[in-house]
Each structure stands twice: as structure tokens, then as C-alpha cells.
Structure 1
Amino acid sequence: MAERQRLAGRIGRFQLFALGFGSIIGSAWVVILSRWLAEAGPAGAVIGFLAGGVAVVCIGACYAELTARVPRTGGDFTFALEAFGPRLAFFVGWFTALGWISVTVFEGLAVAWVIELLLPGLDDVVLYTLFDAPVTRNQLLIGTAGALVMAIVNYLGGAASARFQGLLTYGFLAVALALLLAMAGRGDPTLLLPAFPAMPGGAPWWHGSLSIFASCAFLLNGFQTIAQAVEERASGISLRTIARVMIASIVAAALFYCFAVTAAAMMKPWSELAGADLAMVQAVRGLPMGDTLARVLLVILLASLLKTWNGVYFAGTRTLYGLAARGFLPRGMTVLHSRFGSPYRIVLIIAVINVAGLLLGRGAVGLLVDTSATSVVICFVLCCAAVFVLRRKQVQAPDFVVPGGRIVIGFAFLAALTMAASALVTPLLRSGFPVEYIILGGWAGLGASTLVLRRKAYDDTRPRSQEP
């Protein structure tokens, strides 16, 4: 096999945690808090997140063992390549890339929205309407500016991306936790009662908990970015450490969601927050200097979106790099920058796609979320199955194995399967034929064509387990 260049990076354990946690926590804890409260109430929402957190921790443990067994850039793709062979692995990588890149577009649109909230007096012009929503000049200009920032950061290499991620993540955590602690300290715990009330419309609270559990496939997605950085870890960072950091990032994110729901619901009656557009903003306004702190909340929300954007951008470049390194995409994409050691051509390709995707406008946000969630959870299922396969192929145990063995792996597989079924069925519950199916089908067709065209290239570069 032709030797390839190694990505340059010196990413430490705290930066690895920032990649994982920072890629998981985005805007949902502010933007859709009201929906969680309306569907499940505060206690039901916490139960949903705890259950989802347990499931995703088990899935994350499977990813941690896979990373220890196959410590190469490419994440889901490299795991599937080692377990199932090139053809199935290609589609895992292909859909993983679609999931990451879809989120880069979503983050660009979300960043533009938050800046418009912070600067409501900005003049704007509606350019056209798409998916029943206006696409404006400011959306495109702000989103494009953000995409260029992400491209520059990632062009400068993995170490620069990790430093940027660490700065945003730990800054965000410091301010967000201070706000939530202030709300919990001044709030009224009796507002959390009754714990399990009758929900509006007569639906039982556990329906909402189940919905939150299923959505944890998206809400707790992002820990895989740590696996993508395995070749760029600093010296002295063991594979066992990477595994522990990956699991810790999921636990921390699930607890953060629980804390956010509880702290907000202690500030105002949750039934009132359930009807608010931005429930967390309304809750923060109950603090002294509430209007000022509400703007601070929007600023840290902006920082949160930027860190998530950077994390998924990083993961997307590494997924495409893994595909190209194995011959599934043109090998010219694997050329690294002579100074920064970054896959700069892939960085630029994603930048172009990111900017082009902004043209879809905010009306496509639901499509982007559903497309990303479906792509990710299908890969969850296959990667959990890959643990069983690789345990049979590789007799020697790696530095980290899933605690609880086959029982936990089996539970992770079933949880991933449940989340995948939910992601596939949810679009059918809406009226009309799901556009998401058209997108996924078209992407699969494009992938099949790519696989045929690149057949000789990837057949000549089959993986070997012993490769470092």
C-alpha cells in the first residue's frame, strides 16, 4: 500500500474534550427548550435526556473500542472498512460526510439568525422565497462570513482548529454554567411540581420523554469528532484516554441538558415557558439585570454555534480525507499543506458546499436536521455491529473495551436501531412525501456512481489491520 502523509496535530486531552462536548452542545438548549417542556414537562424532559444519555454513552463506548482497535482518521468509515469491507464502508463514510456537511449549513443559517436577534435594527432585503421561507441578504452575507472563518481556522491545521474549539468551548461553559447556577440559586423548586402532570392535548408525559430519547441521536451527536482526531493527538495521549474523554463528553452534555431544563423551569412556571418562542431567554430575564443577561445569553449562544460549526467542519474534513486516502475519492484531496499539515483542498471543498448550502435558506433547516440525524443513526447501528465483527477478527484486546461486554454492546445496537427507526419514520408523519427520502436516495445514487467509477482505485488500496 502506498504510504500516505500524516495529518499534523498536537491535540491534548482538554482539546479533545472540547471537540466532543463542543460539537454536541449547540443551540437546542435555548431554541427548542419550550418544545421539550410542552411535550414532557421538566421531569419528563430530564428522564428523556437521562435515558438517551445512557443509550448514547453505550454507543459511545462502542465507538471508543473501535477507535482503540482502528486508530486511524476517518471514524465511522475506517471502522466499517475494517469490519465489513470496502463497499459497505464507502456508504458509511459517504453518509457520514453528508451528515457532517449538512450540519455545517445548518450552523451557518443559525449563526445568521442569532446575529439578527442581537442586532435587530440591521437593514435587510428579501432576495427570494424557498421552502416557504424568505432567504435574505443578511442570511447569506453572515453565513458566508462564518463559513470563511471556519475555512480559515481549519486551513491552519488540526492544532489551530483544536485551540479555537477549546477557547470557545471553555468560555461558553464558564458563562453558561454561571447563568444556570444563578437561575437555580434564585429559582423556586416548587415550580417543578407536579412532576408528571397531564400534558396539553391529553397526551401522557412519557410520550414526550420518548420523543426526547429518540432525538438524542441528534442532540448528543458529535462525540465522534474525538475519534476523527485520533491520529492528531498529542504525544503521551493513550487510546484509553481518548476512549474515556469520548464517554465523558457524552455524559457532560446529557447532564448539561438536564441542568438547563431544570434551571429554566425553576425561574417561571414551565407551562408559561412552554409557550415562549425562546424559553431560555425568558427564563434568564427573571434574573436581576435580566435584559442585559438575556443579551449575554445570545452572545454565548453564538459562541456555542461557532464551536459546533468548527467541530463538525473538522469531522467532515477528516471523513472525506479517510475516503480519499483509501482511494474512494481522488487522491489529490489527501495532499497536506506544507506548513500547516491540513487537508486544505478538502477544507476548501467543504467551504464551497457550505456557502452553496446557505442558498437553501431557513426553510430547509428541518430537512438539514432530519437528513443529518438519519445519516448519523444508520452509521450508529453499523458501528455497534462492527464491534462484534472486529472482536471475532482481532483476538488481541485493545487498550479499551466496552465495559459490560456483549450485553452493553447489544443494548447499544438496539438503542441505535430504535433511534434509526424513529429518524426514518418521523418524516412520514408529516403531510406529503418526505423530501428527506429524495435527498437520501439521490445521495445514495451519487455514491453508487462514485463507487463504480473509483472501483480500481479502492480495490488497489485495501486496508490492513496492522497499519499503525
Structure 2
Amino acid sequence: MSNSLKKSLSFTSLVTLGTAGVIGSGWIYTTSSFFTEYTAGGVVLGMVLACLLAGCVAVAYAELAAQFPRAGGEILFTFIAYNRKLAFVIGWLLIGAFISSTAFYMAAFGGLLSKGFPALKPALESVTLYSIAGSDVYLWGLVAGVVLVLVFYLLNSKSVDVGAGTQKILFGIKVLLGVALALAGIGLGSWDNFTPAFTAVGATETDVMHGVTSTMRFVIPALTFLTGFSLVSLLAEEARISPKKIGVAIVLTIFLAGAYYCLVLLGTAMIIPWQDSAQMEFGAVSTFTHAGYPALGYAAMGIAFLGMGTGSLGMAMGCSRIIFAMGRGGLLPAFLGKVNQNGVPANALTMTLIITLALGWLGKGAMIWFLDTGGVYVGLSWALTVMCMYKIRQKYPNNSRPYQVSVKCLPFVGALGAVGIILMTLIPGTSMSLKPAEYVILLLWVVLGAVMYAIQTKNNHLSDDEALQNMLGDSYDEIKKLK
């Protein structure tokens, strides 16, 4: 039986999966706290800057995924450009980032149900299990999260077509609701509600420096909202389109997701004075309801639920492809790199489910710690992927590039921004620094990765050439000729 994934994704499916994976749920009901912390101008402009940085990095992914349309994305690129050890490092970091997202959705789903349907709150919060990181974990809320994870596990297990088809439906509804919010906010609201855009809540005068720092500070959380575009490169092997179109799909994913975020955030800041919105409990949901448009409040709530669904589906799909590629390349146990009779990486999907369930019980508060460290992992993977692009150009100058970055410095600009943000996050004492518990999680994940690498190196029987051949498939012979 062939150990290749089934090729069935169209261009539209690939873009839908990528964009739906980028646009999550938490942002829609946390706009109030964003406005309070960063100002409305800082949020909207910070999102624009984050989209530009992500776009600079995305073109590097586009060039590489078009050259090597095989599962694995960053792991494969790093193995080709550098070596097995660095490929394991980036794969391990990406597992941490993707699992943080899937486990967060599991942990947060019960809370979202309580807020969206207040009548369910007494039942969902009737049995308190424990409290971690200042967040109570409720039995029935946790059960609801487990059901969510299991439903999308079953969908992903059927075939990539089933998952993609479900994603298209959910994403289509989410787009319509987002367009309604953006048009209503911008069309029915007022620019006067948005300005002064950078004056801190409670302040009487505009502070230019506060606007600059607020904008730059928001770039970090904004980048975490844009991380899912790498899902397209992870699914490249399953696309039945030309390699060039795979590259186009990656770039289009960032453009569409960025436009969606920016327009909905701007509409939320314009429908009523954003300083008033900043005082509300439930972000855009409360904002549009307070503005006299309860139907739009329900639309915002719908985006939150749909985002949790599309995010869970996409992140689980992406994480399983990371694990699958690492198993196929000898970076993790070989059974994880096998596909079933339907061309689905069933073992990798099951492993994704197990890890998600193991972490999700920690609750929403603890999972926010994991999400913050996941942002560091993603930033590192962005920077390394850009390095891989330049390295592969140097190492294989004659290799075909169906999609090629025309402005060579663009990926470098994106990588530079990612590295700067990582440094600001890792250095203690800055406004962007990780919390003490997050440094511990970061260290533990690194140590666990080192142990896993040592065990796998001892038990692995594939040479580097054999591992790369497994990962590249038919493209391996072409690479060997060019070397």
C-alpha cells in the first residue's frame, strides 16, 4: 500500500482550509479588553502591521511549498536545507504550538457555551473540579469540550474531503456573518466613534508615543491570530492542483484572513464610541447589541462558535500532518508516519487527539500559558523557514521554482520582525515578556523534546538519505541530481 496521502483538495478547498484555520474565535469576544489595553487605533493598525509581517513570511512558505509539495511544511524544508536535528527541533516546536490551540479550544468551549447560552450556565458550571491559573474547571464544561474535540477527530478520520467539506460550510457562514458586521459597523457607524483612535481609555489627551507603543505591542497577539497559514504547506501533498497554485493559495490565505480581521475590528470600533465598547464584558457581541442591533450581536456570537469549530478542525488537521511527516522521516516512531486505506494519517490523528485530551483538562487559564509559549514557537518557525528559503536557493540554485518571491528582501523583513518580537517576549521585564509559569512551560517543552530526540535517535534505523527520501517521495531523485 502506498504511504502517500490522498490527493483530493482543490484550490478553493486549500484556501478555505488555510483561511478558516487562521481566523479563530477568541478575538471576537475579547475586543473590549483589546481596546482597553491597546486602544482601537493600536488594535486596527497593529493588525495591519502584523498582516504585512505575516505576508512577508508567507511568500517564503509559498516558494518552498510550491517546490516541495509534500506533507511536513517547515519540517521538510528544514531537513532539505539543513539537517535531521534541526528538522526535529522545528517539528517539536510546531507540535507544541498546534496542540496548544487544539487544547485551548477544548478547554474554552464550555465557557463559550455558558456565555452564548446563559440558560445553560448553571448546568455547565454545576460541578467545579478544580482551579488552575485563576480559572475554574467545570466537569460538564470540560465534557462539552471533549465532545467538540471528538466530533472533529471523527470528521478528520473519515477523509480529508470530509474535513474540507465541513470546513467550507462553516467557513462560508462565518464569512457572511463577518461581512455583515464589517458593513454594518462601517456603514451605520461613524468615524467619530473611532477617533481619537489612540487616546488611552480614561485619558483626556492623545499621547502619540502611547499610540506607537500600543500598536507595536498589539502586533504580538495579532501575529498569533495569523499563524494558521502554514496549514496550507502542511496539506500541500493532498492538493490536486499545480505547485504554483499551492504557493498562490498560501499568499491568498493571509490576504483574506488579514482583510477579515481588520474590517471586522474596524467595524466594531466604529459602530459606537470604542471607549464605550472597551467597558463591555463580551467584546463585539456586547458592542453590536448595545448599538441597537441585537441580530448583529448574535452574528458576532456565531463567529465565535464557528471560529472555535473551524479552528479545532484546522489545527487538528495541521498537527496530525506534522506528526505524520515526522514519523515518515524517522523523527518520531515510524507507526505515526503511516496512512490507512483511505489515505488518511490515522495514527497521527489519534496521537493528536490523545495529546489534546491530556492537556485540555488543565483548563482555559493554564491553556493561555501554552498559547503564549506557542506564539514563540511559531515565531521561531517563521524565521527558520525564511532562512531555509535562502539556504535552498543557495544549495539548489537550479531547482525549479513554480512560485518565486520576486522581491528577495521581503521574507527577510518578515523574519526580522518575528525575531524582534520573540526577543521582546523572551527577555524578562519588557511589556511583552512571558509570565513566570510560561518560562517554565517553555523550558519543560524543550527538555521533553530533547528526551524524545535522544530516544528516537537510539531507536531510528533510517539514514538521513532514507529519511529524506521517505519525506520527499518522487522529488528525492531530482534533488539528488541537483546536489
Q: Where in structure 1 are there 5+ consecutive unaligned residues?
A: none
1:355 equivalenced with 2:357 (yes/no): yes
Match of 1:459 among 447, 450, 463: 463
Partner amino acid, structure 1, of 2:308: L
1:333 equivalenced with 2:336 (yes/no): yes
CA distance 1:245–1:130, change in 2 (3 Å): same
1:281 equivalenced with 2:279 (yes/no): no
Classify the secondary structure of the residue corresponding to 2:71.
coil
Alpha-carbon offset, residue 13 of structure 1: 1.1
Partner amino acid, structure 2, of 1:38: T
Match of 2:188 among 155, 165, 186: 186
* TM-align CA RMSD: 2.2
Partner amino acid, structure 1, of 2:306: A
Deviations 1:206-232 (A, max 9, x none): 111001223332021100000011110
Alpha-carbon offset, residue 61 of structure 1: 0.5
Identity of aligned residues (%): 25
CA distance 1:421–1:192, change in 2 (3 Å): same
Classify the secondary structure of the residue corresponding to 1:395.
coil
CA distance 1:467–1:427, change in 2 (3 Å): farther
Deviations 1:330-364 (A, max 9, x none): 111223222x3211112112112212222101221
Report the equivalent of 2:318.
315
1:246 equivalenced with 2:246 (yes/no): no
Classify the secondary structure of the residue corresponding to 1:337.
coil
Q: Count residues in correspondence.
A: 461
Report the equivalent of 2:269.
265
Question: Does the CA-based 8 Å contact 2:25-2:311 persist in structure 1?
Answer: no
Classify the secondary structure of the residue corresponding to 2:468.
coil
Question: Does the CA-based 8 Å contact 1:217-1:419 persist in structure 2?
Answer: no
Mapped partners of 2:360, 2:463: distance in 1: 36
What pairs with 1:422-461 in structure 2 (closer than 5 Å)? 422-425=424-427, 434-455=436-457, 456-459=460-463, 461=466
What pairs with 1:28-427 in structure 2 (closer than 5 Å)? 28-122=26-120, 123=123, 124-197=126-199, 200=202, 204-234=210-240, 237-286=241-290, 290-338=293-341, 340-396=342-398, 397-405=400-408, 407-425=409-427
Deviations 1:9-48 (A, max 9, x none): 4111111111111111112431321233224433332221
TM-score, structure 1 as length reference: 0.93
Alpha-carbon offset, residue 174 of structure 1: 1.1
Classify the secondary structure of the residue corresponding to 1:398.
coil
Classify the secondary structure of the residue corresponding to 1:467.
helix
Alpha-carbon offset, residue 431 of structure 1: 9.9
Partner amino acid, structure 1, of 2:320: T
Classify the secondary structure of the residue corresponding to 1:135.
strand
Shifted more, 396-405 versus 290-299: the winner is 290-299
Question: Does the CA-based 8 Å contact 1:105-1:355 persist in structure 2?
Answer: yes
Alpha-carbon offset, residue 76 of structure 1: 1.0
Classify the secondary structure of the residue corresponding to 1:6.
coil
Alpha-carbon offset, residue 166 of structure 1: 1.2
Alpha-carbon offset, residue 64 of structure 1: 0.8
Alpha-carbon offset, residue 429 of structure 1: 5.6
Mapped partners of 1:426, 1:23: distance in 2: 31
Deviations 1:276-332 (A, max 9, x none): 2222112211455x3344234213310111101111101000000000001111111
Classify the secondary structure of the residue corresponding to 1:285.
helix
Alpha-carbon offset, residue 365 of structure 1: 3.0
Question: Does the CA-based 8 Å contact 1:183-1:287 persist in structure 2?
Answer: no
Mapped partners of 2:390, 2:432: distance in 1: 36
Shifted more, 126-135 versus 147-156: the winner is 126-135
Question: Does the CA-based 8 Å contact 1:328-1:457 persist in structure 2?
Answer: no
Alpha-carbon offset, residue 102 of structure 1: 1.0
Mapped partners of 2:78, 2:433: distance in 1: 35
Alpha-carbon offset, residue 6 of structure 1: 0.6
Classify the secondary structure of the residue corresponding to 1:121.
helix
